[in-house]
Amino acid sequence: MPELPEVETVVRDLRPLLTGRKIVGVRKSKQKLRHAWKPEWDAAVTGAKVTGLRRRGKWILVDLDTPNPTGGGPKGDHTVLVVHLGMTGQFTAVPATESEPDHLHLVFELDRGKQLRFRDPRRFGSVEYHPSAADADYGLDAFLGWEPFDIDPEEFRQSLALTRQNLKAVLLNQAFVAGVGNIYADEALFRARLHPARPGSSLTADECDRLREAIAAVMTRAIETRGSTIRDYVGGSGLRGGFQNEHAVYGRTGEPCPVCRGAVACVRLAGRSSHFCPQCQPREGAGRAPRPRASPRGS
């Protein structure tokens, strides 16, 4: 599933390609996505101009210039498309002349011969129209936690102290930190030298700070390299990610740790495979500080 770095890359790719473009029509396939596109939404978005793109957690918000048709909400409220990539979704802007791939479920025809396409082989993704951007924002904020770059240090320590859940489960909980998934939970825990099975309440204040800083650092680097392309993910311009070449532990079971050269291990936690180094991330106590790898994986 695309996580925050992949979604942020899509937003950054699409922003210059879509801002100022007008939607002149909508086409949809007969197969439904996780949440079906409603026929009445065709007329609601046709003629609207894209004014901006944003991200909240793993969600993409495409702001439109049409005012909230209900007249409610704050001054300046407008309509918005809320997009989730699911497990295999691709949201790209391309010339209308480009051949159409399979599993193409929604096409927004744009002015100047462009198209905004939503493709999703597994159909767990969705694109939904909201007549109020303020309501859409409020709805996301109601169940999403901190953005990884905006975590309050003291509140973070207090929240971890109150939970007996293992750290892998904590990081996968979108109500705790938004946008972190399996890949970046493993990578952040490795960078912080913390075993994924440790209870949140077992961490010292220093370990809490290490984890908070590691989450932000891993996410920042992943965004710089356009995220991780494991299977289907591509950015908004169709380009693949590169962070998969820098994974320290994720997907590297049995391979040498980039720090101590011991074998990377894998256990099942929170229903997901969790990769870690037993030496650098001991079950208790401080691990060895990770150093940059000499060369990217596969070089």
Catalytic residue list: 2-3, 58, 272
- CB count within 10 Å of CB 68 equals 19
Polymer length in residues for the chain: 299
Token representation of residue 80: 């918005």
Phi and psi at residue 142, to the nearest 5°: -65, -25
Phi and psi at residue 88, to the nearest 5°: -135, 20
| Cα–Cα distance, 276 to 190 (Å, whole number) | 6
The answer to whether 272 and 172 are in contact (CB under 8 A) is: yes
| Cα–Cα distance, 216 to 274 (Å, whole number) | 19
Nearby residues of 267 by Cβ (< 8 Å), 6 or more positions away: 196, 197, 273, 274, 276
The alpha helices in the chain, defined as continuous H runs, are 4-18, 40-45, 133-143, 153-161, 167-172, 182-192, 205-224
